[in-house]
């Protein structure tokens, strides 16, 4: 097939492009390099089935493709709060442009949504049926609400125009090619540990997250895109249900890197979720998917990547 990956030079997108090429597909990688990097896909440039286009999804583009993975959007708080208006535009206008293309050419399209649509959840773990607890005017709302509107658009294009849509709600994902300055907790802890700095923990460190290794996530994306299961247009959680406090993660990172660390505590950011854990029953039943790489194993690979790439 001929497959478009928006945000294809990003952390997750580059791994997805590699996977699709390995399966024999033609891949078009589209990215504006706000958080994506050419180095992530440099090894793919000599592949005759790979095409790279510099483009912003907020602007229309016309391509003939069979499938579209719409991953384009800054996903870390530092980056999506840097220009919140542009973040909303990327989520909403990008979804409209990609859905319009899918409608015109009859392509199947997958939207990379997020666990942030659940906000600071009052239901734990979070099933797809939960409507969430989101502050629609807070500093994180540009991302949270942008993704929620994108989901609305996907469902309406499916109901109104018959577009073959998929929605995946991605929970915290980590692995090689994360940006060292993206402000996410895994990359923060690893970079700070390798540089011999204090680990920054917000609040008392008792808040929890669930961490999915990028290879497991990509497997879930590909299965969701290609399944013919009924009612597959409804959102599907993809994430690792293993739950860790920030204090536990700090200890794991330190032991994986073989370093002694100290911790400094800072105030908890506004609207920062206290708990985050996916209910993956739907993914397991519809896709036969569940994660296979535990946090300890994934951290070994991720620490090794940062040890080779960052300046200490």
Active site residues: 143
Rounded to whole angstroms, how far apart are CA atoms 165 and 252? 38
* Bridging pattern class, strands 208-210 and 243-245: antiparallel
Length of the chain: 312
Residues 6+ apart with CB under 8 A from 114: 75, 143, 144, 147, 169, 170
CB atoms within 10 A of CB 123: 14
CB atoms within 10 A of CB 310: 14
Residues 6+ apart with CB under 8 A from 174: 184, 186, 187, 211, 212, 213, 214, 298, 299, 302
Residues 6+ apart with CB under 8 A from 118: 126, 130, 132, 133, 134, 273, 276
Q: Which residue has the tokens 């392509």?
A: 107
Rounded to whole angstroms, how far apart are CA atoms 66 and 73? 22
Contact 41, 30 (CB under 8 A): no
């Amino acid at each position: 097939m001929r497959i478009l990956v928006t945000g294809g030079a990003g952390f997750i997108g580059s791994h997805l492009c590699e996977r699709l090429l390995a399966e024999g597909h033609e891949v078009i990688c589209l990215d504006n390099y706000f958080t994506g990097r050419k180095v992530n896909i440099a090894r793919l440039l000599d592949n005759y089935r790979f095409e790279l286009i510099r483009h912003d999804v907020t602007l229309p583009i016309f391509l003939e493709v069979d499938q579209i993975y719409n991953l384009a959007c800054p996903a870390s708080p530092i980056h999506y709060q840097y220009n919140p208006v542009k973040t909303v535009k990327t989520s909403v206008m990008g979804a409209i442009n990609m859905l319009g293309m899918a409608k015109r050419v009859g392509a199947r399209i997958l939207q990379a949504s997020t666990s942030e649509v659940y906000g600071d959840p009052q239901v734990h773990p979070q099933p797809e049926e939960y409507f969430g607890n989101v502050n629609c005017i807070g500093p994180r709302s540009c991302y949270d609400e942008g993704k929620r509107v994108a989901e609305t658009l996907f469902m309406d294009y499916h109901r109104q125009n018959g577009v073959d849509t998929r929605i995946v709600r991605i929970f915290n994902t980590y692995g090689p090619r994360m940006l060292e300055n993206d402000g996410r907790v895994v990359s923060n802890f690893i970079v700070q540990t390798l540089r011999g700095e204090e680990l920054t923990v917000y609040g008392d460190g008792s808040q929890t997250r669930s961490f999915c290794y990028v290879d497991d996530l990509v497997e879930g994306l590909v299965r969701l895109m290609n399944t013919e299961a009924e009612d597959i247009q409804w959102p599907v959680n993809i994430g690792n249900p293993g739950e860790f406090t920030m204090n536990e993660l700090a200890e794991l990172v330190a032991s994986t890197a073989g370093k002694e660390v100290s911790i400094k505590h800072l105030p908890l950011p506004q609207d920062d979720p206290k708990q985050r854990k996916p209910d993956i029953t739907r993914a397991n039943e519809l896709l036969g998917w569940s994660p296979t790489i535990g946090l300890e194993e994934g951290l070994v690979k991720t620490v090794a990547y940062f040890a080779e790439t960052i300046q200490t």
